Chain A
Amino acid sequence: MNDLLAARTQMAISLGFHIVFAEIGIAMPLMMLIAEWRWRRTGDPTYLQLARRWAKGTAILFAIGAVSGTVLSFELGLLWPGFMRLAGPLIGMPFSLEGFAFFLEAIFLGVYLYGWDRVSPRAHLAAGAMVAASGAASAVFVVMVNAWMNTPAGFDLSPDGALVNIDPIAAMQSPAAFQQALHMLIAAYAATGLAVAGVHALMLLRGGPSAFHTRALGIALLVGAPAAVLQPLSGDISARVVAVTQPVKLAALESQWTTERGAPLRIGGLPDAERERTRWAIEIPYGLSLLAFHDPHAEVKGLDIVAKADRPPIAVVHVAFQVMVALGSAMALVGLFAGWVTWRRKDVTTNRTLLRALVIVTPFGFIATEAGWIVTEVGRQPWVVQGIMRTSDAVTPMPGLAVPMTLFTLLYIGLGAIVVALMTSLVRETA
C-alpha cells in the first residue's frame, strides 16, 4: 500500500468512525429532551426513566465522538499538511466557530448528565436544549468546510497555485454549503431516530406490551420518520447542485460515461472503467436529465469531459451512491408507513408489520451515511480541493503511513466492538 492510499484510508476510517457518533450526538439529545419535557408535562415516570436511560447511552457515545473528533482535528496536520498550509486561513473560521459550539455542547452535556438534582427543572431542560442546538450547529460548521472542498469559493488563484485575496466569509457560503449541511442534518435525525426506533421495536416484538418501549418508540419515530421522509427531497437538491458544480462527480455516481442529452437514469449495475461502460444496470430513459436538471432533454456531462487520470474511482462511487439511495428510499417508505398508521389513528406500537419493518431498517441510516460520505469524498478524487489541489500534493512527506493507519484502524475496531457490547447490555437491562 503506498503512502497516499494509507493516508486516505486512515482519514476515511477516522471520519467513518467519528460520523456515526457525531450523528448520534446531534439527534440523541433532542430525543432525551422530548422525553424529559413529556415527563415534566405529564408527570409520567416512564418518560423520566426513558430520558435517563437515553442519557446514559448518550454519555458513552458522546465521549467517543469527542475523542474521535479530536483525532480528526490533529489528522488534518498529521496527514494533510499541504492542504492545511493552503487552506487553513480560509477554512479556519467555521472550524473555530465549531470549536465554540463543541465547547457549549460539552459544558451543557455535563450539566445535563450530572445535574439532574443540582439545577432547576427549567435550567435542566434548557441545558438539554443547548446540547441539541450546539450539536446541530457543530455539524453545520464542519460540513461548511467540506462543502468548500467540493465547491471552493472566496479567493483568487495566483499563478504559483496559492490562494490570494481570500474572503473567509465567502468561503463559508460556498455553493454546496447549504445543501450539504441540510442533507447531513436530516441524515443525523433520520439515521439516529430510526435506529433507536428499531431497537425499541425489537424489544416490543420480543417482550410484548411495555409502556417504556412504547413511549420510546413514539419519540424516536417523531424525530426519525419525518426526517427520513424529507431526506429524498434534500437529496434531490443536492444532486442538482452537484450536477452544476461538480459534473464529474455526478457522472461518476451515475456512471455517465459520455456527455449526452436526455441521459437515462441507471439503477444498480457495475461500472467497468476499462471498457467505459456499466453492466447489469436498469436504465430509465431520460431519467437522469429529468432528475438532475428537471428537463428530460437536458445535457448531462459525462466522464469524457476530463482525462482518465482526473476521474474518481467510478465503481466505488457508483455503487456507494446506489447503496445510499436504496437504503434512504427504504427508510423513507418506512417513515411514510409509520405516518400512515398514525394518520389512521392506529397505534404504531401494536402494528407488527411496522415493527418488523423498523427492525429491518435499524442500521440503514448509518450505512447510508457512510455510503454518502464515500460518494462525496471519493467522488471528488483525485482532488482534495476540487480543481485547486490534488490529494497527492496535500499528503505528508512522512513515509511508512501504513503503520499509523493500521494503529488507528485497530484502535477503532476495538472501540467499536466495546461500544456495541455496552449498548447491547444497556438495551438488555430494560428488557
Chain B
Amino acid sequence: MTPFLASIGLPEIIAGILVLGLNAYVLTGGADFGGGVWDLFARGPRKAEQRELIAKSIGPIWEANHVWLILVVVILFTAFPAAFATLGIVLHIPLSLMLVGIVLRGSSFVFRSYGSTHKGAQRRWGRVFAIASIVTPVLLGIIVGAIATGAVGGAASTLPTKAGAPSANASFNSVFVAPWLAPFPLAVGALALAMFAFLAAVYLAYAATDDALRDDFRRRALGAAVAMFVAAFGGLGVAQMHAPSVSRDLTSGFALYFQVATGIAAVSAIAALWTRRWAVARIAAVAQVSLILWGWVVVQYPYVIPPSQTLRATAAPRITLVLLLYGLVGGSLILFPSLVYLYRTFAARDAESAQIEQAPRG
C-alpha cells in the first residue's frame, strides 16, 4: 500500500465527502451563478430568449443546488470545528460580503420571477440578480485563494489567544485584510467567475432547443474557456511572484497529473464545442472544473488551512466523525433519489413539456 492510502482514516474520508459536496456545489450552484453572468451579458437579437432560457433552467433547481453550500459548511464546522473558527475570524470580511451577494442573488431572482409584473421593476431586479451573480463567485474564489496561499493560516497564528485581548504584532490590516486582498486570491476569484460562466454557457448550449440560441451560448462558452485559460495561467504567474510555494506545489509531483488531466479535459471541451457535440462538451466541462477543484485539494492535503492546521489536528473527536459519517450516508440514501427525481422532472431538453410549462398560472 502506498503511504498516501495508508494515511487515509476517518478525518480524510469526511474531508473527501466535504470536497465532493463542494464539487457538487460548484457544478450546480456555481452554474446558477454563471447563469446570472449571462443574464447580464445577454446581447443580440435573441436577448430576451437568452434570459428566458436562463430563468427557466435555474428556476426549479437553484434552491436545491444552493443547499450544497450549507451542507459543506455544516460538515466543516462539525468535523473540523477549529478550522471553521479560524476561517470565520480571518476571512470575516470576504465571507460577510459573499453572504450579502448570496442574499441579494436569491431574493432578487424570486422578486423578478414572482413579484411585480411591472417591466421597470423586473429590469431592476434582473440587474441586482446579475451583479450579485458576478460578485459572489469572485468572493468565493478569493476565499479559496487566500486559504491556498497559507496567508489565512499565517494570520491566524498571530491572533490573540483570548478574545478581545490586544495583540502587539498584528495590525487589523495584516490579519483581516491582507490575507485575502492580494494578487493570487484575486486571480483565483477571476478564475472562479470564468469557471462558473463557462459551466453555465455549456449547460445552456446543451439545454437550448433552438439552434440559433444554442450558438449564442456556444460562442459564450468558448469565450469563457479563453477567460479561464487567461485566469489560470495569470494566476500561476502571479503565484510565482507572490506565492511561490503554491506555484511549486501546483506543478510538482502528484498535482502535475491533475494539471495534465485538466488540460486534456479543457481541450476536449473546446473541441466538442467547436464540433457542436453538446453532450460531450457538457461531460468534458464538468470533468475540467472538477479536476481544477481536486487539483487544489491534492496540493493542500493534508492541510485544511496551510501552513499548519492539518485535517487531523483540527478534527472533532472520533465519535462525532463516526456519527456524522452515518448521518451523511443515511441522508444520501434519501437525498440522491430525490435529486435525480428533481432533475428528471425538469430535464430542460424536453421540448414537449417545455410547451406545457407555458400553461396558465393561478
Q: Which B residues touch A110, using CB under 8 A?
A: 59-61, 63-64, 342, 346
Q: Which B residues touch A104, using CB under 8 A?
A: 334-335, 338
**A interface footprint on B327-359 (CB within 8 Å = 1, 0 otherwise):** 110010011001101100110000001001101
Interface bin, chain A = 35 or more
User: B45 on the interface (CB 8 Å rule)?
Assistant: no
Q: A56-B362, A397-B163 are in contact. Are A89 and B317 (CB under 8 A)?
A: yes
Q: A52-B362, A114-B346, A118-B353 are in contact. Are A77 and B88 (CB under 8 A)?
A: yes
Q: What total count of A-B pairs have CB within 8 Å?
A: 237
Q: A51-B362, A82-B163, A107-B64 are in contact. Are A89 and B316 (CB under 8 A)?
A: yes
- Chain A nearest CB from B78 CB (Å) reads 2
User: A413 on the interface (CB 8 Å rule)?
Assistant: no
Complex CA–CA separation, A107 to B338 (angstroms): 7
- Chain B nearest CB from A112 CB (Å) reads 10
Q: Which B residues touch A78, using CB under 8 A?
A: 88, 92, 95-96
Partner of B359 from A60, A64, A116, A393 at Cβ < 8 Å: A116
* CB-based nearest B residue for A163: B317
User: B361 on the interface (CB 8 Å rule)?
Assistant: yes
**A interface footprint on B141-171 (CB within 8 Å = 1, 0 otherwise):** 0000000000000000001101111000000
| Stretch of B31-39, B68-76, B285-293, B296-304 with 4 or more beta carbons under 8 angstroms from chain A | B68-76
Q: A70-B102, A88-B78, A89-B317 are in contact. Are A81 and B331 (CB under 8 A)?
A: no
Complex CA–CA separation, A393 to B85 (angstroms): 13
Q: Which of A244-260 contact B (CB under 8 A)?
A: none
Partner of B60 from A82, A114, A398 at Cβ < 8 Å: A114
* CB-based nearest A residue for B98: A74
Q: Are B362 and A48 in contact (CB under 8 A)?
A: yes
- Chain A nearest CB from B49 CB (Å) reads 19
Complex CA–CA separation, A49 to B172 (angstroms): 56
Partner of B63 from A73, A106, A422 at Cβ < 8 Å: A106
| Stretch of B107-115, B231-239, B247-255 with 4 or more beta carbons under 8 angstroms from chain A | B107-115
Q: Are A63 and B107 in contact (CB under 8 A)?
A: yes
Complex CA–CA separation, A25 to B116 (angstroms): 21
Q: Which of B163-186 contact A (CB under 8 A)?
A: 163-165, 172, 176
| Stretch of A95-103, A188-196, A282-290, A302-310 with 4 or more beta carbons under 8 angstroms from chain B | A95-103
Complex CA–CA separation, A397 to B163 (angstroms): 5
Partner of A49 from B323, B327, B362 at Cβ < 8 Å: B362
Partner of B320 from A63, A70, A92, A102 at Cβ < 8 Å: A92
**A interface footprint on B69-109 (CB within 8 Å = 1, 0 otherwise):** 11101110111011011111100100110011011111101
* CB-based nearest A residue for B77: A88
Q: Which A residues touch B96, using CB under 8 A?
A: 78, 404, 407-408
* CB-based nearest A residue for B97: A407
- Chain A nearest CB from B140 CB (Å) reads 12
Q: Which A residues touch B102, using CB under 8 A?
A: 67, 70-71
Q: A78-B92, A82-B163, A99-B74 are in contact. Are A113 and B60 (CB under 8 A)?
A: yes
Q: Which A residues touch B106, using CB under 8 A?
A: 63-64, 66-67
- Chain A nearest CB from B111 CB (Å) reads 7
Q: Which A residues touch B69, using CB under 8 A?
A: 70
Q: Which B residues touch A392, using CB under 8 A?
A: 163-164
Complex CA–CA separation, A118 to B359 (angstroms): 11
User: A233 on the interface (CB 8 Å rule)?
Assistant: no
- Chain B nearest CB from A8 CB (Å) reads 13
Binding site secondary structure of chain A: helix
Partner of B103 from A76, A114, A411 at Cβ < 8 Å: A411
User: A358 on the interface (CB 8 Å rule)?
Assistant: no
Q: Which of B41-66 contact A (CB under 8 A)?
A: 59-61, 63-64, 66
Q: Which of A149-167 contact B (CB under 8 A)?
A: 166-167
User: A274 on the interface (CB 8 Å rule)?
Assistant: no
Q: Which A residues touch B59, using CB under 8 A?
A: 110, 114
Complex CA–CA separation, A87 to B38 (angstroms): 42
User: A108 on the interface (CB 8 Å rule)?
Assistant: yes
User: A109 on the interface (CB 8 Å rule)?
Assistant: yes
Partner of A106 from B66, B114, B176, B323 at Cβ < 8 Å: B66
Complex CA–CA separation, A79 to B87 (angstroms): 11
Q: Which A residues touch B212, using CB under 8 A?
A: none
Q: Are B66 and A70 in contact (CB under 8 A)?
A: yes
Q: Which B residues touch A48, using CB under 8 A?
A: 362
User: B264 on the interface (CB 8 Å rule)?
Assistant: no
Q: A70-B99, A84-B88, A399-B172 are in contact. Are A117 and B356 (CB under 8 A)?
A: yes
User: A85 on the interface (CB 8 Å rule)?
Assistant: yes
User: A240 on the interface (CB 8 Å rule)?
Assistant: no
- Chain A nearest CB from B299 CB (Å) reads 24
User: A427 on the interface (CB 8 Å rule)?
Assistant: no
Q: Which B residues touch A97, using CB under 8 A?
A: 327, 331
User: B324 on the interface (CB 8 Å rule)?
Assistant: yes
Q: A110-B342, A117-B359, A119-B345 are in contact. Are A166 and B353 (CB under 8 A)?
A: no
Given contacts A117-B356, A404-B96, 16 further A-B contacts (CB under 8 A): A59-B110, A66-B63, A67-B105, A68-B103, A73-B73, A85-B81, A87-B81, A89-B316, A95-B74, A96-B331, A99-B71, A104-B338, A107-B338, A111-B345, A394-B163, A418-B107
Can you report 30 residue pairs joining A to B where beta carbons are below 8 Å apart? A3-B164, A55-B362, A56-B114, A59-B110, A59-B113, A59-B114, A63-B107, A63-B110, A71-B102, A74-B73, A79-B88, A81-B88, A85-B84, A88-B81, A92-B81, A93-B324, A102-B67, A103-B67, A104-B338, A107-B342, A110-B64, A111-B60, A111-B341, A115-B346, A119-B345, A167-B319, A393-B162, A397-B159, A397-B163, A415-B103
Q: Which 7 A-B pairs have the closest CB atoms?
A: A92-B78, A52-B362, A77-B88, A88-B81, A89-B316, A81-B85, A100-B331
List chain A positions with a Cβ less than 8 A from chain B: 3, 48-49, 51-53, 55-56, 59-60, 62-64, 66-71, 73-74, 76-79, 81-82, 84-90, 92-93, 95-100, 102-104, 106-111, 113-119, 166-169, 392-400, 404, 407-408, 411, 415, 418, 422, 425
